Amino acid sequence: MTESAAGWLAEFVAGAQSASPYELVAVALGLAYIVLAIRQHRACWIAGGASTAIYIVVFLKHGLLLQAALQVAYVALSIYGWMAWRAGGDLPARPQAWPLSKHLLAVLAVLLVTAASTPLLAQYTNAPAPFADSLGTWASVVATWLLARRYLETWFWWMVIDSGLATLFASQGLAFTAGLYLAYAVLAIAGWRTWRGSLSAAA
């Protein structure tokens, strides 16, 4: 094991030992959310909404203000996802593709909003990582909307977002949450493969 890997493992163990019960429950519900989402099970939105509601408290405690605000948006998006995935709703029964041009516009919008919110967060709050907090927040909003609309490419977004957020959370001592987001990034690959197979079957 390299020195850097050993150091990260030591930090993970230390953070895990100090993890609050709230964080542990949120992690368990978060894992249930991603597994159910991969299986396109509507109950994913219940698990996801409960997990994010708990994370509001966890992130506020650690000074990640935009991430805490994002959890509020996640709760609202969970309600939207629950309604959108209902039987007889307006969504196709299987995943669908989103045009590349729209992805590029979404990325541009995320970068513009991040550029606007980062200096505000740095000036008016004690946020420890204003840029990472902002970028992760706005990108996650787009990715969650893509998931709610059953767009296949949501999993590409999550691969990148979750890897970055894992680093952010680890730097703030949220060891279990960092581990959860690393698991999200890996599970996003499984999500992509599963949804792509479903899309191919529909075609």
Per-residue pLDDT tens digits for 15-55: 666 667 888 888 889 889 999 999 999 999 999 999 999 98
Residue 13 phi, psi dihedral angles, 5° rounding = -65, -45
pLDDT at 112: 97
Tokens of 181: 């987001």
Please give the DSSP secondary-structure letter assigned to residue 91: S
Share of the chain above pLDDT 70, in %: 87
**Do 164 and 57 contact (CB within 8 A), yes or no?**
no
CA angle 80–84–90, rounded 5-degree value: 140
pLDDT at 100: 95
**Do 162 and 137 contact (CB within 8 A), yes or no?**
no
**Do 30 and 46 contact (CB within 8 A), yes or no?**
no
Report the amino acid identity of residue 92.
P
**Do 121 and 115 contact (CB within 8 A), yes or no?**
no
pLDDT above 60 for 176? yes
**Do 134 and 182 contact (CB within 8 A), yes or no?**
no
